[in-house]
């Protein structure tokens, strides 16, 4: 046999030995896990149960979470102009609300509430599973630990398959494609718990404003209108014109502080204006 052949034989033997040793270690690690899995689980109570409970809650609810986000248009790619994209970058929440399909109603807020809870719990789940994995790594032998990556650990010890859980945040994407299609630019908003919270508070602010306007408009009755005109002696509070000077003058009742700015339909906030002055006021 030549010199090279001997070297090759020696290397092959070494490789073979290495493979056999790894295999033996792998088998012994797996046996260890099989034998000790319930012990490891129990030793790390209550954290291990907490992880399992969170997992079963999240698995049950995650299709609803995804559906709510999709139905409200929060997980879509929105094709837009370059300027809309720039505006969105400067004011993400405002533009997210504008170009999603969110309604200003209670049901929408309830759905967002649900999504917030889910997202929060998902965050806690990832924290707790990290913690548990770290905790366990200190208590089992290293020869076992190296054969027990995180995904395997949760399947074998806690019966949780991590691959069923979302690996990244849902995302709303603003996408600009130039007319010739030569260049494109995108801006992603990740729907994190904080983003959901911000959308919620913005929405409830708008909802309050909206219901305020509705109530204030309904409060304005013909009787109230006539009473205000009578109180102001059928005279415009701005120009002083009246039905005595101009018998066919059209008088209107105006909110001094507009409803849109929080004004109420109350005598103190109402005044008689001629139609010209009213148009003038609403144009300013």
Give φ, ψ of 252 to 5 degrees: -130, 155
Stretch touching Zn ion by CB under 5 A, among 11-19, 40-48, 235-243, 250-258:
235-243
Region binding Zn ion by CB under 5 A among candidate stretches 84-92, 149-157, 195-203, 239-247: 239-247
253 binding Zn ion? (CB under 5 A):
no
Does residue number 274 form part of the binding site for Zn ion (CB under 5 A)? yes
**Residue 151 vs 280, nearer CB to Zn ion:** 280
199 binding Zn ion? (CB under 5 A): no
The least CB distance from residue 237 to Zn ion, in Å, is 8
Minimum Å gap between C-beta 233 and Zn ion is 13
Q: Which helix (H) or strand (E) holds 108?
A: helix 106-137
Q: Which is closer to Zn ion, CB of 132 or CB of 236?
A: 236
Least distance from C-beta 107 to Zn ion, angstroms? 44
* C-alpha–C-alpha distance, residues 131 and 91, integer Å: 36
State the nearest-atom distance from the C-beta of 272 to Zn ion, in Å: 9
Cβ proximity of 274 and 239 under 8 Å: yes
Of 236, 251, 253, 270, the residue at the interface with Zn ion (CB under 5 A) is 236
> For residues 167 and 284, which CB has a smaller minimum distance to Zn ion in the complex?
284
Minimum Å gap between C-beta 244 and Zn ion is 14
Return the H-helix or E-strand segment holding 97: helix 92-99
Q: How many CB atoms lie within 10 A of CB 251?
A: 21
Q: Work out which of 11, 20, 146, 239 binds Zn ion, going by CB under 5 A.
A: 239
Dihedral over Cα of 191, 193, 198, 202: its sign: positive
Measured in whole angstroms, the distance separating CA 6 from the mean position of its chain's CA atoms is 65
Cα separation, 40 vs 51, whole angstroms: 14
If the CB atoms of residues 162 and 238 are measured against Zn ion, the closer one turns out to be 238
Residue of 222, 234, 203, 235 lying closest to 265 (CA atoms): 222
Determine the interface stretch with Zn ion among 57-65, 83-91, 104-112, 272-280 (rule: CB under 5 A).
Answer: 272-280
Judged by CB, which is closer to Zn ion: 216, or 235? 235
* CA–CA dist 75, 68 (Å, integer): 10
Sign of the CA dihedral with 276 first, then 277, 279, and 280 last? positive
Binding site for Zn ion (CB under 5 A): 236, 238-239, 241, 274, 277
């Amino acid at each position: 046999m030549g010199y090279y052949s001997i070297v090759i034989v020696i290397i092959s033997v070494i490789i073979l030995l290495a493979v056999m040793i790894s295999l033996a270690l792998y088998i012994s690690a797996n046996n260890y896990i099989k034998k000790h899995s319930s012990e490891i689980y129990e030793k790390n109570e209550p954290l291990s149960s907490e992880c399992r409970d969170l997992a079963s809650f999240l698995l049950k609810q995650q299709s609803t979470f995804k559906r709510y986000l999709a139905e409200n248009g929060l997980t879509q790619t929105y094709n837009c102009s370059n300027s809309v994209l720039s505006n969105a970058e400067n004011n993400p929440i405002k533009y997210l609300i504008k170009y999603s399909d969110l309604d200003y109603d209670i049901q929408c807020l309830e759905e967002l509430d649900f999504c917030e809870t889910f997202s929060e719990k998902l965050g806690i789940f990832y924290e707790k599973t990290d913690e548990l994995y770290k905790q366990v790594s200190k208590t089992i032998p290293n020869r076992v630990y190296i054969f027990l990556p995180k995904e395997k650990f949760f399947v074998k010890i806690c019966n949780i398959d991590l691959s069923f859980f979302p690996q990244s945040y849902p995302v709303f994407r603003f996408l600009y494609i130039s007319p010739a299609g030569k260049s494109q630019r995108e801006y992603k908003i990740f729907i994190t718990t904080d983003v959901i919270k911000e959308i919620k508070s913005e929405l409830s602010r708008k909802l309050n404003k909206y219901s305020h306007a509705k109530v204030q408009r309904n409060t304005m009755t013909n009787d109230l209108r006539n009473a205000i005109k009578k109180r102001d002696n059928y005279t415009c509070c701005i120009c002083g014109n009246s039905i005595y000077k101009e018998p066919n003058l059209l008088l209107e009742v105006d909110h001094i502080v507009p409803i849109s700015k929080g004004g109420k339909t109350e005598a103190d906030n109402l005044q008689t204006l001629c139609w010209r002055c009213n148009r003038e006021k609403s144009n300013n």
